[in-house]
Amino acid sequence: MLSVVVRDKQGANCTGTVRIKVLKVYNPPLDLLLVSQNVSIFENQGPEDIVATVRANLTIPDVLYTFVKDYPHFKIGREDGVIRTAYNLDLEAERALAQSVLLVRAYSVAVERSATATVTVNVLDVNEFPPFCSPSVFVLEVSETIEVGSSLGSLTCVDIDVSNQSVSLTLVGNRLSLLKFRLKDGQLQVNNTLNYDSAEMATNNFQYEATILATDTGTPPLTSQVRVLVSVTPVNEHDPVFQTLFFSVPEGTRPGTAVGTVVARDTDWPFDNIHYSITTGDTMFTIDPEGGDLYLGGELDFEEQQVYVVGVQAEDYEQDMDRNNRKRRTVDITIQVENVNDNAPVCDPISYESTIFSTFSNKLPILSLSCADADSDRLTATITNGAAVDRFLMTGLSLVSKNVFSYVVDGVYDRTRFEVTISVSDGRHHTEAVAYIYVVPWTTTVPTTSTTTTITTAKPPQVVTVMSDYWDPEPWFVAVVTVTGVLLLLVTSLLIWAILSR
């Protein structure tokens, strides 16, 4: 009931009563389609990314939506109830964003009704960062004799992504560094003997290269690379090893001629970096310190000395970081002097005289030459003057008659004095000797004897040495000619066989 007073300007009034009866009317409640929601979104989707939508029953007019309290990471549409991100959500920057519980109130002023919904927002991690490794590169310098198992350093890798913090390490080597290194508990270790002494290492600047792959467990997985550059320094490990210990050289070789090359090998890089020197032995020889060529320094004579022994030292250099660390080896080199037929036969004496009876048997030697050769060559003797050739012959170095001498009482048919010129040869050189044979005619059958007398003249004998050139081919030439002849004979035989078979 309401009492109402009505007044005019003059102050007159009247009073009345108004009765208001309130009738009961049905007011429906404000219902939400989803009272509770559990949603998941990915991080780093940017601002205004739709998270969820809260909806009220459409029978209620003019429904508005708002958060029960302030949630700075999210915002909601007042009229549509759409929840969006207020800015880019980054779990790595704000770990608390992993889960948020949002209370949303829906209300209607017209019917004075409201309801509250709960929205649980889970922010999922996105694998956006590859692992970060320290150090980011291995640059090392080690000796080639470093022990297997030695540590080259430790590697630490982490992933700042919230859910991908497990990192696996894999060592990948190239063909040169394969199996040379290993990873054990985050340590880079030497797995096999390192090598400096190879041409392949030289072309790679004596450096091993490998890569360590650090991979996280995200989807998809992300990988970081850590380069491994290990430079190897040299160590002089090996002694020089000689390959040649014997040479032969013909006597008569001119001084200054190279008689051979001394070869020593060294497996330290640079290979065969060797300096040669003569330490002991005859001064007959000198050696090239760099190339190892052995040179003759004087005249050789087989008849005086057949063998020379020279001590040669091989010393390596520039095969170690310490340039004074050198290795040496000394061996005896044997030089055999080859005998060359350079001496003419010598007969002593060169003149012979013998007196025999005419009945002297033609089977017995009249005299024997006393000749020798300094080169120990086999000697042959030949009668060179015509008349003596018909009457005498040489058996070895012995002079015999071809038949017995013939004489009659009334006259002499055979000569009684013979001058025999004999040429003694060693196959290359010749020496002449002269034999004077006196025959005493004799008719009896009594055996006769002979005497040999050496004629000594006042003048010393003159020895004439005759030099003759001859062709002495190289052994390889003889071998090539022989093989060529055999092949030619074989081809000819096959050709004839093919013709006959047709």
By C-alpha distance, which of 376, 257, 371, 256 is closest to 306?
376
What gap in Å lies between CA 104 and CA 70, rounded to an integer? Answer: 10
CB 65 within 8 A of CB 77: yes
pLDDT in tens, 158-172: 998 888 778 999 999
Span 293-321, mean pLDDT? 91
User: How does DSSP classify residue 339?
Assistant: P
Residue 481: CB atoms within 10 A of its CB come to: 11
Span 456-475, mean pLDDT? 55
Matching CATH number, 132-233, of 3.40.1170.10, 2.60.40.60, 2.60.40.10, 3.60.15.10: 2.60.40.60
What is the three-class DSSP state of 389? Answer: helix
What is 455-490 written as a DSSP string?
A: ---SSPPPP-PPP-------HHHHHHHHHHHHHHHH
pLDDT in tens, 12-34: 999 999 999 988 776 778 888 89
pLDDT in tens, 45-101: 999 999 999 998 877 778 999 999 999 999 999 999 999 999 999 998 888 899 999
pLDDT in tens, 410-435: 555 677 888 888 888 877 788 888 88
Lowest mean pLDDT among 8-22, 240-254, 329-343, 417-431: 417-431
Span 175-196, mean pLDDT? 93
pLDDT at site 219: 84
Specify the pTM: 0.58
CB 287 within 8 A of CB 295: yes
Class of domain 241-338: mainly beta
> Which CATH architecture is the domain 36-124 placed in?
Sandwich (2.60)
pLDDT at site 131: 93
The one-letter amino acid code at 413 reads: Y
Q: Say how many CA atoms lie within 13 Å of 463 toward its Cβ.
A: 14
By C-alpha distance, which of 452, 449, 405 is closest to 433?
452
Q: Say how many CA atoms lie within 13 Å of 492 toward its Cβ.
A: 6
Pairing of strands 63-67, 99-108: antiparallel
What gap in Å lies between CA 193 and CA 174, rounded to an integer? Answer: 16
What are the residue boundaries of the structural domains of the chain, listed by start? 36-124, 132-233, 241-338, 346-453
Residue 428: CB atoms within 10 A of its CB come to: 17
Matching CATH number, 346-453, of 1.10.3980.10, 3.20.20.140, 2.60.40.60, 3.30.565.10: 2.60.40.60
Summary mean pLDDT of the chain: 86
Per-residue pLDDT band at 121 (split at 50, 70, 90): very high
